[in-house]
Amino acid sequence: MYMFDWTYVYIVLPCVLLSLWASNRVNSTFKRYSQQYSRRGLTGAEAARRVLSANGVSGVEIQRIGGNLTDHYDPRSNVIRLSDGVYSSTSTAAIGVACHEAGHAVQYAMGYAPIKLRAAIIPLTNIGSKMAMPLILMGILFSGAG
């Protein structure tokens, strides 16, 4: 006879809910500040370039990529990739995201030690984020087996 194990749900459900809550907060905050614009008309790409320049960092390319909040700095290719909603937008949200990514490039250029740790664990976190839902579903399905 199949017996469902609620312990698994009690452990995993709060984690899933916390993750959904955090994602929702990021998206709603970005959406709110996407309606507030820079008085100078500075775009996200221009703001990122200014942060790099102000810190004496050169040779970092800034590219536009598709998607929503897919912005990131790639240290392997030394490229800041800004999503469509950030690259050419003059909103304070876009400028904040672009400057955040430029900050990562500055950290790499300055040899900031914690960024090296972050770089080392990113491949693991990417695997974890891609496999989280399938593993959760498998855990629920197999929690009563055996």
Least confident of 58-62, 66-70, 130-134, 138-142: 138-142
Does residue 82 sit in helix, strand or coil?
A: strand
Q: Which one-letter DSSP state was computed for residue 74?
A: E
pLDDT category at 141 given cuts 50, 70, 90 is confident
pLDDT digits (tens, 9 = 90+) for 2-56: 566 677 778 888 988 998 999 999 999 999 999 999 999 999 999 999 999 999 9
61 CA to centre of own chain: 19
Residue 53 CA: distances (Å) to CA of 110, 127, 128: 13, 34, 35
Least confident of 47-51, 87-91, 120-124: 120-124
Q: Quick check: 90 and 37 in contact, CB under 8 A?
A: yes
116 vs 107, more confident = 107
| Catalytic residue list | 101
Q: What is the pLDDT of residue 78?
A: 94
Global pTM exceeds 0.85:
no
Q: Which amino acid is at 101?
A: E
CA atoms within 13 A on the CB side of 39: 0
Alpha-carbon dihedral angle through residues 133, 18, 70, 114, given to the nearest 10 degrees: -110
